[in-house]
Amino acid sequence: MKKKIIIGSRKSELAITQTKWVINQLKKLGLPYEYEIKEIVTKGDKILNVTLSKVGGKGLFVKEIEQALLDGSIDFAVHSMKDMPAEMPTGLMLAAVPEREDPRDCIISKNNLTIDALPKGARVGTSSLRRASQLLAYRSDLQIESIRGNINTRLKKLHDDHLDAIVLAAAGIKRVGWDDKISQYLDVDVCIPAVGQGALGIQVRENDQETIDLLSKINHPPTKTVVTAERAFLHRLEGGCQVPIGAYASLDGEDIYLVGIVASADGKQVVKAEGTVKKEDAEKLGISVAEQCIANGADQILSYLKGE
């Protein structure tokens, strides 16, 4: 008799695609389990007419799923890592971080234009303060328009709302097989990604050793290491997905490099820091780079954004 494992996921096409990908990785192990997806609607999915920064609170796309885990109605959850707050509820843990997809942001534009080729005053759609602030820091003439919704909705708004371009995570576009729509991948020098962008976080109850053991088989240690550094940066800054914080870590042999950014919503204040250490000190690196940012005024930007 196979044991059935119930997996919690958001209902969007991208979330289900990601969850099915995880299930396929597990099926390849040939173990005696059946898998069922339970679709869960989160607060962030319900409120689509307000920008994320105005909805407030952390974990807009994960809280309801985490509650289902705590209640025992699901066995594990598949999240986009960039949606996960730096702090996890008591009793839950990250059991696995599979290999990362492309962490960069990308532009999808009319006439396939790059960010440099967009006309003066171009209207660019994004729901992310992090993207908006960095785009404005790079090109202050751009008109940023807030757009929410799934990938299909945002692509439709590109045309229906007469936008010149939209900015999205490249990983999501690639996972649904729409690479051909991408006009340009934004270099990290232009737009530092969200913490954990392109990676999946598989969350489980701390006391469910059987499921932890199963999920450990699809963990990708290099990805977990770089994500650990990025999340330590976020945790030290006490940030959520609705504030303009970005971080990107990469491995070079035994060394790990991290660059982090905190920016004002208008892109006029940008605090950036970086560092390199041995990869076993990934968490310390995240904290160190965050503290460099704080020393250079990041805490003032964040306090202002939080209305403190």
- H or E stretch at 246: strand 245-252
| CA 9 centroid distance within chain | 15
Q: Which two tokens stand for residue 272?
A: 């950036």
C-alpha–C-alpha distance, residues 241 and 163, integer Å: 24
Cβ atoms < 10 Å from Cβ of 66: 23
* Sequence-ordered alpha helix ranges (H) in 161-281: 170-175, 209-216, 221-237
| CA 31 centroid distance within chain | 30
Contact assessment for residue 191 and residue 136, using Cβ atoms and an 8 Å cutoff: no
Contact assessment for residue 260 and residue 272, using Cβ atoms and an 8 Å cutoff: yes
83 carries an active-site annotation: yes
Contact assessment for residue 64 and residue 40, using Cβ atoms and an 8 Å cutoff: yes
C-alpha–C-alpha distance, residues 137 and 19, integer Å: 35
φ, ψ of residue 201 to 5 degrees: the values are -115, 125
- Which of 45, 71, 75, 83 is flagged as catalytic? 83
- Catalytically annotated residues: 83
